[in-house]
Amino acid sequence: MTTLARRGDAAGEAGRLAALLLSPTFVVLGLVVGYPLVAALRESLYQSGQSVDADGFVVQGDQFAGLDNYTGMFSGPAATRFWNAFGNTTFFTVTTVAAEVVIGVAMALVMHQALRWRGLVRASILVPWAIPTAVSAILWQWIFQADGVANALIGNQILWTTEGWQAKFAVMIADVWKTAPFIGLLVLAGLQVIPRDVYEAARVDGASPARQFWSITLPLVRPVLVVAVLFRVLDSLRMFDLPFVLIGNRKESVETLTMLAWDEASNLRFGPAAAYATILFVYIAVVAFVFVKLLGADVIGEVRDRGRQARERGPEPLAKPEVVPA
Amino acid sequence: MAHKTTLRLTALVSAVLLLTACGSEGSGGSGATGGGGGGAAPALEGRGEITLATGKDTSNNMQKLAEEWNAGHPNEKVRLVELPDSADGQRQQMIQNAQVKSDAYTVLNMDVVWTAEFAANRWVVELPRDQFDLNNFLKPAVATAEYRDKLYAVPVYSDAGLLYYRKDLLEKAGVQPPKTWDELTSACQKVKALPEGANIGCYGGQFDKYEGLTVNFDEAVNSAGGSIVDESGKPTVDTPQAKAGLDKLVNGFAGGQIPQKAITFKEEDGRRAFQAGELLFMRQWPYQWALASKTDGSSQVAGKFDVAPLPGDGSGPGVSSLGGHNFAISAFAKNKATALDFIKFFTSEAAERSNLLATSQAPTRANLYDDADLNKQFPYLKTLKESILSAKPRPKAVRYGDVTSAIQEAAYAALTKTKDSGTALKELQAKLQDLLK
């Protein structure tokens, strides 16, 4: 009886202690993740004063607009611009990530083979990834300007930063240059844990290098690759600084959803800006969910494993403290 | 059980914390309507330390002037707050500052086109007109500081476009600097007939899709006798004059007088092209003078160029768009009385002269343009004064960001031939009617 009560007390104490220790984390999470999300959602339901009173002053205060900001986006006068930005965002994500996967895997295979200068090759391949996007956008702007290196190389004057397909290409080239190394490095890490004897066995069985790649390498790096691709997809959907700096603001050919939200916010239409941001958030969440479900991206795999082990072993020792005799 | 209670408590505490955070944010963001000004110009009160929020102080002269002020006012010191490089970035910071009603910025160094927006939103306070000797300032510059006939800022720097031209090539071809667009094109043909001028481009400006395009479009329309808005602020871009102005640029691109790559030009790209000797005529701000005159090898045209007013359409000269910066006082700042005195100090003749000498930025006091010593150092001052005095401001709009976007959209579509100029202007007229009502 007394032991039981004590045990309850002790468990309670430990729980209290755990909660107490964790509460700062919850508070911080609430402040930095929860609050901005809720605030953005709330903001997207309002419209701020865009009208001017008789004295020429802007009418102050927010008016509740319900879902107007959302309906306006899908069918109102702003719909063309929204769908264009939505299309661009999706287009960039699909094309750049596809190119990055091919190039990144190729890079990883080369790095994996390279025996001499391995460290140097790896370090130098990471350079594009280390440069801040805005800075690399300026670099590429110089390359793509009318008298730039790109035009000198192809011996033709293409005006890359004007509206049109060439602008889309410029953004894609710059983005792939910057982020293929990221995939390359993650895949390389995956390659290095594949045991050599698997390949030896394949060779003994007479499998061609191509067959080895498709039947051994690819399936075995798949978990790593899927996570890398997921990260890149989420990143690409938020693409902002590269097209903004390289091509420019309000250029239809490259305007992405984040640029649209930025433009609306900088013209003080915070309601529609928040609505665009919310839609983008939902879009990203859906893509991530589908990705995890369909391809089984094991982003938090380690945690899940630990959880499973814990369940199998029963409660953690901490939750079952030693009974202290009175 | 106790465990759960604790969890709940924690959640509650977090929620309360969140709510208080929301609360303070909310009341800061949307509550008060009082802001700065009610009816008449409010008294500006409070003395003490102030700040000056400005773009990068590249010449260090602002710092120098601030130190001079600080030496004389030990209890009312000013501190420079440097904002991002780009005008958009500066505006963004100032707006964010106003949204949270922060007193971090006292004096705001604003682009001339922001006055209407900042005044209409009550982010800056009305200034007492009688405390400034505004008659000694350039009139068009003063007009940029007004909104609905009230003064909200004091002009500190002015700016207007000039036509830079290759003196050496024009002399060789035996032609005078052009006063009209037709003269410009015929001068160009004559220069192109010379062996030295065979490959030169005729005319350059700022035609990329950004604020510079608005400036160049406005100038083309105004120089052709049209206007963007009429006296009462109603848009007037769907007129034959406006079309003639825009067509001048469209045909320039089509006919090759304006090089194709000029569609990607911002100020610096055009400046580099002119300095490399690729252009005969260039519409540019005065800042190019000093850089194109450098003899360190960075400029191929040092000593070979001069400036004229922008070319017009009929017989007279063209009309420039007005640039420049004004100082205003944030509605949420403390120590507004000190700020007022500081603005007076910064726009005094001595300060403007030192600014001109250090930065070559155009002053706003008229008599400096007639100063013999300054003219010796800045030979373009006389032409610049003419250009400023005949310049027109860009439309004064509370939603200027949308207005300039609409103009850029239309002009860019016409220049890149995705729309013909008539359609582009008709659509622009409709958009501006919506934005300027």
pLDDT at B28: 35
A61 has a pLDDT exceeding 60: yes
The candidate with the shortest Cα–Cα distance to B428, out of B285, B217, B216, B198, is B217
Q: Nearest-CA distance from B218 to chain A in Å?
A: 19
B164 three-state secondary structure:
strand
Q: Which two tokens stand for residue B173?
A: 């071809």
- Region B174-182: mean pLDDT is 93
B116 has a pLDDT exceeding 60: yes
Per-residue model confidence as pLDDT tens digits over A181-225: 999 989 999 999 999 899 999 999 999 999 999 999 999 999 899
CA distances to B135, B207, B285, B309, B386 from B383, rounded to whole Å, are 21, 23, 12, 6, 5
- Region B372-397: mean pLDDT is 94
pLDDT band at B283 (very low <50, low <70, confident <90, very high): very high
Is the CB of A251 inside 8 Å of chain B's CB atoms? Answer: yes
Chosen for mutation from A21, A159, A318, A320 (greatest number of chain B CBs closer than 10 Å) is: A159
Chain B positions touching A60 (Cβ under 8 A) are 30, 33, 35, 122
Q: Which two tokens stand for residue B248?
A: 């001048």
For residues B394 and B228, the answer to whether their CB atoms sit within 8 Å is yes
B33 has a pLDDT exceeding 70: no
Is the CB of A156 inside 8 Å of chain B's CB atoms? Answer: no
Q: Which two tokens stand for residue A272?
A: 């529609």
Bigger pLDDT: A5 vs B138: B138
Bigger pLDDT: B223 vs B41: B223
B201: alpha, beta or left? (left if phi > 0; alpha if psi -120 to 50)? beta
Is the CB of B298 inside 8 Å of chain A's CB atoms? Answer: no
DSSP for B382-418, written as a single string: HHHHHHHHT-BPPP--TTHHHHHHHHHHHHHHHHTTS
A161 has a pLDDT exceeding 50: yes
Chain B positions touching A31 (Cβ under 8 A) are 17-18, 21
Give the Cα separation of B139 and B142 in Å (integer). 5
Residues 6+ apart with CB under 8 A from B317: B179, B309, B310, B311, B386, B390
A64 has a pLDDT exceeding 60: yes
pLDDT, chain B, mean: 89
Radius of gyration of chain A, Cα coordinates, nearest whole angstrom = 27
Tell me, what's the ipTM?
A: 0.82
Q: Which contiguous run of DSSP H or E holds residue B245?
A: helix B240-255
Residue showing tokens 């705001």: B108
Amino acid at B46: G
Bigger pLDDT: B418 vs A317: B418
* Buried b or exposed e, range B299-336, using 16+ CB within 10 angstroms: bebeebbbbbbbbbbeeebbbbbbbbbbbbbbbbbbbb
Per-residue model confidence as pLDDT tens digits over B192-212: 999 999 999 999 999 999 999
Number of Cα atoms under 13 Å in the Cβ half of residue A61? 8
Contact A15 B412 (CB under 8 A): no
Residues 6+ apart with CB under 8 A from A146: A157, A159, B261, B264, B269
Number of Cα atoms under 13 Å in the Cβ half of residue B325? 20
pLDDT at B137: 97
Q: Name the fold adopted by A63-310.
A: MetI-like fold (1.10.3720)
B429 has a pLDDT exceeding 60: yes
Number of Cα atoms under 13 Å in the Cβ half of residue B162? 22
The candidate with the shortest Cα–Cα distance to B221, out of B312, B155, B134, is B312
Domains of chain B (ranges; CATH) run 6-33+40-159+321-389 (3.40.190.10), 162-319+397-435 (3.40.190.10)
pLDDT, chain A, mean: 86
Per-residue model confidence as pLDDT tens digits over B135-170: 999 999 999 999 999 999 999 999 999 999 999 999
Per-residue model confidence as pLDDT tens digits over A252-301: 999 999 999 999 998 889 999 999 999 999 999 999 999 888 877 666 55
Largest CA distance in chain A: 91
Contact B6 A15 (CB under 8 A): yes
Is the CB of B85 inside 8 Å of chain A's CB atoms? Answer: no
